[in-house]
Amino acid sequence: MMSVYRGALAELGAVFDRLDERRVDDAVAVIAAARRIALYGVGREGLQIKGLAMRLFHLGLQVSVVGDMTTPPLGKDDLLIVSAGPGYLSTVQSLIDTASAAGARTLCVTAQPEGQCPASADHVLTIPAQTMADDSGPDLSILPMGSLFEGAQFVLFEIMVLKLRDRLGIEAEDMRRNHTNLE
């Protein structure tokens, strides 16, 4: 019998088997081209988004998390990255609308590409994984609620950072120099 650990890893592997690599590369290109980047997510998706923000900072990009006092206004040549796993979250929709009205580009990470938030975004990166929007019925993940989506976000975001590092010609040691010394 497969252990619960192997089962969870197999489910994550199946997510990445269905992931559209072209969309990942498109998202990486959009991030690389941005002047300033602000990121936003709620709940556990927000934790993953904050992890991505940290790694983008380590790459030396101008990045902030929406809600922090130091988040600058977004406009032309800037990018808002949001997470809306279930396809719609009212705060995410409001931020997409505000950033778009200011001339910024928007990238929505979601499991429900037909949702209102991704439909409003300029770019969509779909992670084909269970969220709380579809955590009932047959064929459920062994992980609770939206954990499969959130776990896939972590792995995907780290791979995207590697792709960005290569694309931007940043060395691992450059990233280490950007790591805080206040721990």
Active-site positions read 150
Whole-angstrom Cα distance, residue 9 to residue 15?
Answer: 10
List alpha helices for the chain, DSSP H. Answer: 4-18, 21-33, 43-58, 90-101, 116-120, 147-168, 172-177
In angstroms, the first-to-last Cα distance of the chain is: 42
> What amino acid occupies position 169?
G
Alpha-carbon gap, residue 54 to 174, rounded angstroms: 14
The H or E element that residue 42 is part of is: none
Phi (first) and psi of residue 68, to 5 degrees: -75, 145
